[in-house]
Amino acid sequence: MTERVVLAMSGGVDSSVAASLLLEQQYDVVGVFMRHGEASAQSCQSSNGKENPLLPILQGRLDHKQGCCSASDAIDARQVADRLGIPFYAIDMQEEFRRIVDYFVDEYQKGRTPNPCVQCNNWIKFGRLFDYADAVGAKYVATGHYARLLPTGQADQPFGLYRGIDDTKDQSYALAGIDRKYLQRMLLPVGGFHKSEIRERAAAIGLKVADKKDSQEICFVTSGKHAQFVRDRSDRNTSGQIVTVEGTVVGSHGGIEQFTIGQRKGLGIAMGEPYFVVEIDADNHRVVIGQHHQLARTQLTAEDCHWLIQPDDLPKEGLSVQIRYNSEPQPAAVQLLSDRQIAVDFSLPAFGVAPGQLAVIYHGPRVLGGGWIRSTSHSCSTTSELPPQA
């Protein structure tokens, strides 16, 4: 019997080619576009003008071809589905996305740097979307992420999550928080390819999205202005002072939500040489800046840890930790403080370690788990012991 798979389609080249690859593997593919409900997307309406219920996949397919959403991504996704001959549905996820928006706003106002894409994977793509898969008899949920699922040979955990083979596009970091029980029900078709191969495949089968640029923005911040998005959804005033690490006041700012650790541009002050955000003091609304070497951290603690292995099976050696989506894993020692808390000691100083981001633990290419960074420190008595940036 052909197995059914629900594929999250974003309108980009990766999920589009994922659909083609799944069809080649004889899966019964159902494409789903998740509408977040922000101003860029309009309600999907049926022929009688009424808004469709949350799960239109249970009804007959809508007849109109222009796409359920007015957003261009939804239109692109539908056109790909039509080209490949698979059913396509736009699902209203506005309530689910509201949770992510609330988290996004709250984290920025606490002086932390949120990662809504990770939480979207945890709560929606590999959370709520499994509920939809169950509702339509689908065994699997698939996405276009650049990561791999490989057999482990272990009865209690038959599959492990691994980095994609394209190091420049690897997205395993963003999947570290999914529930490990779902690993055996996930499909990641593009993880074994390089991005260039995916674009070539898209062009070969005549997909118009073959040359579509990768999205660089958070989907629900349609303006691209993160700080303004936060301010529009809160009545809190977080404006305050900009100070150096020595405590000298050098300027003022309009709100801590416009800053993140490691930021260099947009500080609004001229120091005569490059300065970076090294700390955000949310309690006092102060942004602390310093030179590059003052960003260095050798230790962090992370909480609310999530594991894709049994925590007690964590290896003592050969580990690395990735602190941001676009950074490389760095050699480190990881100490279990509890199942929900870890301490990380980097072999060499790490730069731009930001509270609110996810610290993901790797053993070689395999993802073992991770936790949310809450505090950082430097083991040296003074940051001046490190050389300045070359």
pLDDT at 52: 36
Domain boundary among 259, 290, 321: 290
Task: Indicate the average pLDDT of the chain.
Answer: 87
pLDDT at 68: 32
Q: Is 219 a catalytic residue?
A: yes
Catalytic residue among 68, 69, 120, 305: 120
* β-strand pairing of 286-290 with 276-281: antiparallel
Eight-state DSSP code of residue 191: T
pLDDT band at 38 (very low <50, low <70, confident <90, very high): low
- pLDDT tens across 260-276, in order? 999 999 998 989 999 99
Nearest residue to 346 via CA among 300, 283, 290? 300
* Statement to judge: residues 74 and 169 lie in one domain: yes
* Statement to judge: residues 272 and 304 lie in one domain: no
* Statement to judge: residues 83 and 104 lie in one domain: yes
- pLDDT tens across 67-97, in order? 333 468 889 999 999 999 999 999 888 888 8
Mapped to the 3 state alphabet, what secondary structure does 193-211 carry? CCHHHHHHHHHHCCCHHHH
pLDDT band at 382 (very low <50, low <70, confident <90, very high): very low
* Statement to judge: residues 11 and 158 lie in one domain: yes
Quick check: is 390 in a domain?
Answer: no
pLDDT band at 37 (very low <50, low <70, confident <90, very high): low
Structural domain of 277: 237-290
* Statement to judge: residues 249 and 132 lie in one domain: no
Mean pLDDT to the nearest integer, 173-202: 96
Mean pLDDT to the nearest integer, 223-251: 91
pLDDT band at 216 (very low <50, low <70, confident <90, very high): low
* β-strand pairing of 366-377 with 330-338: unpaired
pLDDT at 58: 33
Quick check: is 216 in a domain?
Answer: no
Number of domains in the chain: 3
Domain boundary among 268, 290, 312: 290
pLDDT at 50: 39
* Statement to judge: residues 286 and 308 lie in one domain: no
For residues 384 and 284, the model is more confident at 284
CATH of the domain at 146: 3.40.50.620
3 state SS of 48: coil
Percentage of the chain beyond pLDDT 90 is 71
Q: Please give the model's pTM, rounded to 2 decimal places.
A: 0.86
Poorest-confidence range of 36-45, 223-232, 234-243, 283-292?
36-45
* β-strand pairing of 240-244 with 319-322: unpaired
Catalytic residue among 44, 69, 219, 305: 219
- pLDDT tens across 120-141, in order? 888 888 888 899 999 999 999 9
Quick check: is 220 in a domain?
Answer: no
Domain boundary among 193, 211, 229: 211
Poorest-confidence range of 29-38, 216-225, 299-308?
216-225
